[in-house]
Amino acid sequence: MRTVGGDLDIGWVRTTRVGGERLEGVEVPLAEENERYRVTVRQSGAVVRTAEVGGPAFTYTTAMQTEDGAAGAVEIGVARLSATFGFGPERVVAANV
């Protein structure tokens, strides 16, 4: 979601690999010591930013967009980190900055 100032707020629903499914708005069990995600921003297939976050949200600020030279269409990928499995598969969405 684009903010008034031009930031791009991105959020996702946490999933689990072990022991749960989402019921009636209840969070699924984390099944990990820490909650970590890798967020990758790409433009025209090239990675322009990578960040690790500790929750299911990331803000791609206008300052970051300017620093990255991002304009127009970008792809934002999110992969969950597991101490056991490493990074899982990346989910990707398209956005405009």
Reported as a single tens digit per residue, the pLDDT across 55-91 is 999 999 999 999 999 999 999 999 999 888 889 899 9
Residues 9-31 pLDDT 10s: 999 987 665 555 555 555 555 66
- Contact (CB, 8 A) for 39 and 53: yes
67: its two tokens? 């620093």
Residues with Cβ within 8 Å of residue 41, at least 6 apart in sequence:
47, 48, 49, 50, 60, 68, 70, 74, 75, 76, 77
What region does 96 belong to: left with phi over 0, alpha with psi -120 to 50, or beta? beta
Quote the pTM value: 0.82
Rounded to 10 degrees, what is the CA torsion of 69, 70, 72, 75?
150
